[in-house]
Structure 1
Amino acid sequence: MLDDVNQLFDFVLKESLGSATILEDAFIQSAGHINTIAKLQTNKGVFILKWNHEELSPYKEEFKGLQLLDSLSQFKVPEPLHFGSNLSVNYLLMEFIPETPKTIKFWINLAESLATLHAQSNTHFGLDHDNYIGALPQSNKFHDNWIDFFINERLEPQIGLAYYEGLVDLSYLKNFQRIYPKLPTLIPKELPALLHGDLWSGNILATGDDMPALIDPAVYYGHREMELAFTKLFGGFESIFYATYSEIFPLQSGFQIREEIYLLYPLLVHANSFGPSYLTKVSHILKKYLG
């Protein structure tokens, strides 16, 4: 296995950076459910390599997402260098960004940069190509309004997958779909906003000078309340972040009343990716809004 990994490292480095690239050291940073991630020290610098053995590879779309964020935001993002497949392995090589502790100034800068990102708009909700959230395909077909996009490209694919995989039965599926007619009265209209798409604490980094960096994008033009709700899924960010964002780009009133609606999507993604335990929270949210 070690020989296979070293062979992968050698192939990717030479394919991406040239035959003169020499691997000096390698550190496995994580080996999760979806990706294995290694830090590669070379004679040409330090890089991050992600790889997996999935039938569908998300790395082409991640490459494009990083490029899009780099071109349209103030965030630092790791420069994507090369993606491809070798030895039945999908891989993505990118720039390594050293991390620093997250300070109060970092959270303020994060809020300012996110508000600027969300100010980037579009004529429709969606994106000109589909991508992935985690290992699951994410449809970004264009829609004129957020409710149609949210239902047809976010909620329906995930609850449908959960039903197909046997995580929920038909009665659960039909009860879930009862939320759809209520959405127009719950969610206010806004212009499409450019979103990172998977903004939780694990996908933000603090870099030098307290500046924020983003990784693992699932970008599209959506409702910015979706992004703010995402940040609260696993504990939330520091309070100064939300206060600063609200000063720059205030949300419409009542966000705290409706924010859990947006969590139905990531919770279903996690249920389909990691197991049915996340459905308990989904059921709680449905009961809250359906009675």
Structure 2
Amino acid sequence: MIPPAIREAVENWLGKVHPGHRKITSVSPVSGGSINRAFSIRTTSAVYFIKFNDAARYPGMFEAESKGLEIIRNTACIKVPEVFLCTQAGKFSFLLMEDEAGGGNQPDFWEDFGRRLACLHRVNAGYFGLDHDNYIGSLIQQNTPCDQWAGFLAEQRLQPMVTMARRSGLLNGQDCNSFDKLFLKLKDLIPAEPPSLLHGDLWNGNFIWSKDGHVCLIDPAVYHGHREIDIAMTRLFGGFDSRFYAAYNESFPLAYGWEERISLNQLYPLLVHVNLFGGGYVSGVRQVLRQYL
């Protein structure tokens, strides 16, 4: 259940913004996350979503998530949950948000999703990266700005994950040599595009059907990057309808050969999964390396 310190902090906030409705009447666990504990909490006036973790173990995680949600919200392209509280109570950090989970989807859900993601990807900050680091899963994601995608992908995305996996013995020296060779080829393998604002972790567990039946993005790992990264991530575990891709391409056509580059653009999330979940993903990494070397 929710620790007493968090419950007290939430009820204090409720007392300030909803006088007379500060009491939490029910708490229900929400499944799906591997890092945080999550609950739906009901008061006499509304329903909220809350998640919490060990503040010392994941410093700044929820602050980064809150910033990411705000960045996406400010584009007015696609719905994200509103954040009400992002703070610490006792030894816990927690994030209190609106509960956007809805029921069924609208008939045009996938087409609308594709068009809205295309809108997000048209947001261009003029550089690759972000003005702060954040998290992908429980791993720090480096975002030092760069004016060139191939360099950013190698130095800020792939190399940190390769180094981490090598230190833990999940990748070997030959793997590292292969990545060094791949880094030299990246500029020729990936067509140049202006930076796009990315969700950054767009698998099928990071969107929900909102109360209005349209898409709502959750758990972002935002940065400005090559938009094929987001598209490739949607293909890693499936769950996205063909109508999504058709509508996206109609709104913002992808460069020729994008489907052939999917495996290359999945290297970063594959390496993240190697470091989060172990050696079961190493074979997928090596398969991509063989494909491009």
2:180 equivalent to 1:148: no
Q: Give matches, 1:251-270, under 5 Å.
A: 251-270=254-273
- For residues 12 and 275 of structure 1, what CA distance do their matches in structure 2 show? 37
Tell me by how many angstroms 1:6 deviates.
4.4
Contact 2:102 2:212 (8 Å CA) reproduced: no
2:199 equivalent to 1:196: yes
Contact 1:12 1:93 (8 Å CA) reproduced: no
Tell me by how many angstroms 1:31 deviates.
6.7
Query: Of residues 216, 237, 243 in structure 2, which corresponds to 1:213?
Result: 216
- For residues 6 and 142 of structure 1, what CA distance do their matches in structure 2 show? 38
2:4 equivalent to 1:7: yes
Q: Which blocks of at least 5 consecutive residues in structure 1 are unaligned?
A: none
Q: Which residue of 1 aligns with 2:166?
A: 163
Deviations 1:35-60 (A, max 9, x none): 11100001231111111126123100
- For residues 252 and 11 of structure 2, what CA distance do their matches in structure 1 show? 45
- What one-letter code is carried by the residue in structure 2 that aligns with 1:134? G
Runs of 4+ in 1 over 3 A off after TM superposition: none
TM-score normalised by structure 2 residue count: 0.93
Tell me by how many angstroms 1:82 deviates.
1.2
Q: Which residue of 2 aligns with 1:18?
A: 15
- For residues 270 and 215 of structure 1, what CA distance do their matches in structure 2 show? 19
2:183 equivalent to 1:180: yes
Q: Which residue of 1 aligns with 2:29?
A: 28
Partner SS, residue 60 of structure 1: helix
Q: How large is the RMSD of aligned CA atoms in angstroms?
A: 1.6
- For residues 219 and 34 of structure 2, what CA distance do their matches in structure 1 show? 15
Q: Which blocks of at least 5 consecutive residues in structure 2 are unaligned?
A: none
Deviates more, 1:209-218 or 1:195-204: 209-218
Deviations 1:230-260 (A, max 9, x none): 1101014100110111111101101111111
- What one-letter code is carried by the residue in structure 2 that aligns with 1:93? L
- For residues 61 and 264 of structure 1, what CA distance do their matches in structure 2 show? 23
Decide whether aligned partners of structure 1 residues 47 and 105 sit closer, same or farther in structure 2, where only a CA change above 3 A counts.
same
Aligned pair count reads 287
Q: Which residue of 2 aligns with 1:38?
A: 39
Q: Which residue of 1 aligns with 2:52?
A: 51
- For residues 97 and 8 of structure 1, what CA distance do their matches in structure 2 show? 25
More helix by share: 1
Tell me by how many angstroms 1:11 deviates.
2.3
Identity %: 39
Tell me by how many angstroms 1:284 deviates.
0.8
